[in-house]
Homo-oligomer: A and B are copies of this chain.
C-alpha cells in the first residue's frame, strides 16, 4: 500500500469543508431526524439518539457525499463503482446536476439497489465481485469517456459531504440541550465516520468516537489496533452488503486513526435484532449494513449506560423478502 498523502500543513478535512458541503446541500438533502425511543433508552440505560439516514434521498447517507462532490465536478459525465448505496446517491446527484452517470455494480447487489439506480437514470454495468476488479472497470470507463470518477470514500469532497450528517447530529443535539458523550457510525471505507467525526469533535471536543463493522469485515478495528491499514480476507460474504470494502481507505484512515477510540465488531445475529428493534420502536426501516452501530449500542458493545450516545443508521435499502425473514425469525 502507498503511504498516506496528507501534507503536514493542510489537514485532509476540516470543519470548514463540512460547513461548505452543508451549504451546498441546503434545501437539496434531507435534514434527517435524530430519533429516540423511551423503550430503547430504558434498554441501554442511557440516552440513545439515532440519526435516521434511511430517510435521506435515495435511502442512505451516500447522497450527501455524492452531491457535494459532483457539484464540484466539471466533466459532463461521472462514473462510480458501488455495492449499491453510493450508486443510488451518485445517480440521483448526477441527474439533479444535469450530468450523465455510469455505475459499476456487483451483479449480486440487492435487487432494490440495482433497480433504484437504473430508475434514477444511470447506466448500470455489472461485474463479478469475486473475479473482476471494479476499480479497473471504472478506470477503463474514465479513460475511454473522459467522465469524472466519483470515489465512494477516499476523497475529501466525499468525506465532507458525509460529514454533514454529523454536523446535523451536533446541531440537533444542541437543540435538545444535550452533550453527546460518544458516537458511532457504520464503516466500510470509513468516509462516514471520518466526516462525522470531524464535525462532532468541533461541537463536542471530548466525544468518544467509534466505527462499527460486521464480524468478518473488521478491517477498521484491526487496522486501528495495529496502527496501519489491514485488509479483510477475500472471498467472504456478509448480510451487510453495504460494508464489504476490503480495507480502510487511505485518506479516511489517516483521519480515523487519529480521531477514533476503537472499531466495534458486531455479530450478524445482533445486527438482525437491531433491525427488529428499529422496526418495533422507531418505525424505521434499516438495512443490515445500516444497523451495525445501532446493534453495538443495543447489545452493550458500545456502552451507553449513563451516557448520551449518537449512532448513525446509515441506510434502509433492503429487499423485502430478507426484511420479512428477519422480522419473523425471533
Contacts and interface: CB of A to CB of B under 8 A. Distances in A.
Interface of A: 30, 32-33, 35, 38-39, 52, 54-55, 57, 59, 92, 112, 116, 119-120, 276, 279-280, 282-286, 316, 320-321, 323-325, 327-328, 330
A187 B330 CA distance: 33
Nearest to A320: B327
B279 A54 contact: no
A92 B328 CA distance: 27
Contacts of A325: 324
Contacts of A280: 112, 320
Nearest to A120: B38
Given A55-B33, A119-B39, A328-B321, A283 B282 contact: no
Contacts of A321: 327-328
SS class, residues of chain A in contact with chain B: helix
State how many copies of this chain the complex holds. Answer: 2
Contacts of A57: 38
A203 to B, nearest CB: 20
Contact of A283 (B39, B55, B276): B55
Contacts of A316: 283
A110 to B, nearest CB: 12
A38 B283 contact: no
A111 to B, nearest CB: 11
A321 B38 CA distance: 23
Given A320-B328, A328-B320, A55 B279 contact: no
